[in-house]
Amino acid sequence: MALQDLCNFQDVFLDSVTTECSSVHFGKKTGCDFMQGSPFSNSSSLFNFYIPVAECLDESPIQYGQISNTQSSSTLLSHDSVLPSFSLPMNPPPASPEPVPLPFPISHGTTTLAFLFQGGVLAAADTRSSCAGQVACPASLKIRPVHSHMVSTTSGTSADCALWVRILSRELRLYQLRHGRRLSISGAAKLLSHMLHPFKGTKLCVAAILCGWDGGEGDGRHDNGGTKTDLGGCTETTKKIAKSLDTSLQKTQSSSPTLGGQQHLTREKIRFSGPSLFYVCSDGTRLQGALFSVGSGSPYAYSILDQDVKWELTLDEATSIARQAVYRATHWDAYSGNHVDIFHISSKGWTRRSREDLKEEYYREKERRERGMRRDVT
Amino acid sequence: MEQPVGAHWHRVRLNTRMISAQSFGDSGKMKEYHYTGPVEQRFSPYAFNGGTVLAVAGEDFAIVASDTRLSEGYSIHSRDSPKCYKLTDTTVIGCSGFHGDCLTLTKIIDARLKMYKHSNNKMMTSGAIAAMLSTILYGRRFFPYYVYNIIGGLDEEGKGAVYSFDPVGSYQRDTYKAGGSASAMLQPLLDNQIGFKNMEGVQHVPLSKDKAVQLVKDVFISAAERDVYTGDALRICVITKEGIDEQTMPLRKD
């Protein structure tokens, strides 16, 4: 459930102010609601934002739009696309006894990486899932698309990553339907981080890099036309947006945080558009950056990436660097291996390069070395 | 006091392996080759009942096979407890691990299938069952079902599909997968024979149904040789668009 749904429960604040939008229910778009982008257009609305955010950290995850088991049988039979009886596990109470010792190990270990460059974002990962010293799956998918303009590289426990990325896609889709535009990568990272927070201290292990393109084609935004993106770099687009904003609006934005009944742009800060990269971890970390590598093979990948990654890379150069980094990591790290997956995200969306078997690369390199040695000898 | 000590010594000599609080308390010294001190025996809600499951997907068929031995520790509870459960006309699930959780899980899946059928007026497809099972398993992330699941069936296009799961819900569509106690022995064999892995210069012929059934039988015979929890009989379910055909074949009973 998006944070706004939690906000709606705070009836005590809505009652005090009467604007036309305060009576709008979620899911129903009236003209004014659409323009506003939010039902809160009153002076106490800022107050509203703080409380739900704090609440969601304490509330049981059941409140995050997950339907509890008791309701599922009666209410959601018609809607199988929602996960009917999937309720997030309850927050383990602080004074709980030790968690049940598991008789089996859960899968871990990987190499994933992502970086920004002039052509967008490149994400790469190996495909080995290991479990207690055995390879549980040699062809697992560690880079999962979240929506048309975002993918998530996942590391940690496979089940946790798979399910949480799925939950994130669902929440982002709901946000898109309610607000008519996609949530930014930064917002998505924050949402994921807040959803994972109740599980801090438990055995849940998710370390994801959210890679995406904010704005881009197909984002149904009704703000100024200044968000047309080109691959010329982030700074240009931000300048474009800044130029086309009303000066009065800018003043409002910078001076007071209150949201009056103004144009829709008031709420939206200077909208960033372009590639973006966030690292989110189940221990609470949320970092923005230009280059990340996660997993047991990440030190090896970092060494290759630090040498060669620059903003000015072409797509082919970037692909080859990413491939090389994963290859080297799979060579040295026992828990990484098999194939390499590469995804590229641009303003048009994500594209996937076909999976490549690194065994072939190893033999090619061996041959190159031998040829090199033979040349030296002769 | 002499008498009890003498008696105690006698007892200790006979049962040198046993933990004896008295041997510790009397002399005040720890015996050298003795495990001393109280040991907390925690109740474990899980048990391991053994069994191996295997699924193979072909061009227009799928095979799910399992042995039928139900064991616990050194005992065999039953020689006729197959681990394949029919879900729909096009899907069979194989569950191995803790038998209690297998039973409950299959009951829950059956109930959810019925609910879906009644509300959507159609049967769940194999892919949908797999996605649903993933969320059912993850719903118990912090007290998991100790079950290794493999779903075999036909997808909407009529091609064979195999979905393999880990106990907490991570899943993947595969061509073949072995799960359960002998999985570590069977999986490499399948990689070689069906996936043609690590073979040079071999023509990749697609697997025919009869060949696949024969391969599954051979593979289980090998597993029964080396894995103590696998044996007694083999139950094979072959899923084609005509329906599900079940065969049983005996395996080693020792």
Chain B residue closest to A136 (CA)?
Answer: B166
Chain A residues near residue B140 by CB distance under 8 angstroms = 89
Distance separating alpha carbons of residues B211 and B214, to the nearest angstrom:
5
pLDDT value at residue A208:
93
B112, B139, B170: residue with CB nearest A158? B170
Distance separating alpha carbons of residues A239 and B209, to the nearest angstrom:
63
pLDDT value at residue B179:
93
The phi, psi pair for A99, rounded to 5°, reads -60, 155
Give me the mean pLDDT over the A3-21 stretch. Answer: 42
pLDDT value at residue A218:
61
Q: Is the pLDDT of residue A85 over 90?
A: no
Q: Which residue from A266, A241, A239, A262 is spatially nearest to A254, judged by alpha carbons?
A: A266
Give me the mean pLDDT over the A339-344 stretch. Answer: 92
DSSP assignment, residue A106? -
CB-based contact A347:A215 (threshold 8 Å): yes
CB-based contact B162:B173 (threshold 8 Å): yes
Whether A87 contacts chain B with CB within 8 A: yes
Task: Tell me the nearest-neighbour CA distance from B69 into chain A, angstroms.
Answer: 20
Contacts of B213 (CB under 8 A, 6+ apart): B63, B236, B238, B247
* Active site residues per annotation of A: 110
Q: Along the 254 residues of chain B, how does pLDDT read in single tens digits?
A: 444 444 444 444 444 444 444 444 455 665 566 677 788 888 888 999 999 999 999 999 999 999 999 999 999 999 999 999 999 999 999 999 999 999 999 999 999 999 999 999 999 999 999 999 999 999 999 899 999 999 999 999 999 999 999 999 999 998 999 999 999 999 999 999 998 888 888 888 888 999 999 999 999 999 999 999 999 999 999 999 999 999 999 999 98
A104, A107, A157: residue with CB nearest B146? A104
CB-based contact A183:A176 (threshold 8 Å): yes
CB contact under 8 A, A103 and B168: no
What structural domains does chain B harbor? 52-251 (3.60.20.10)
A83, A85, A140: residue with CB nearest B172? A140
Q: Which residue from A188, A272, A181, A268 is spatially nearest to A229, judged by alpha carbons?
A: A272
Give me the mean pLDDT over the A154-181 stretch. Answer: 92
Which is higher by pLDDT, A271 or B11?
A271
Residue A122's pLDDT band, with cuts at 50, 70 and 90, is very high
DSSP secondary structure string for all residues of chain B: -HHHHHHHHHHHHHTTTS--HHHHHHHSS--TTS--S-------S------EEEEEE-SS-EEEEEE--EEETTEEEES----EEEEETTEEEEEEE-HHHHHHHHHHHHHHHHHHHHHHSSPPPHHHHHHHHHHHHHTTTTS---EEEEEEEE-TTS-EEEEEE-TTS-EEEESEEEEETTHHHHHHHHHHHTS-TT-SS---PPPPHHHHHHHHHHHHHHHHHH-TTS-SEEEEEEEETTEEEEEEEE----
pLDDT value at residue A192:
95
Q: What is the pLDDT of residues A127-146, one digit of tens each?
A: 988 877 788 888 888 999 99
Give me the mean pLDDT over the A182-200 stretch. Answer: 93
Q: Which residue from B106, B19, B70 is spatially nearest to B180, judged by alpha carbons?
A: B70
CA–CA distances in Å: residue A129 to residues A111, A142, A266, A358, B152: 10, 9, 47, 15, 21
Residue A296's pLDDT band, with cuts at 50, 70 and 90, is confident
Residue A238's pLDDT band, with cuts at 50, 70 and 90, is very low
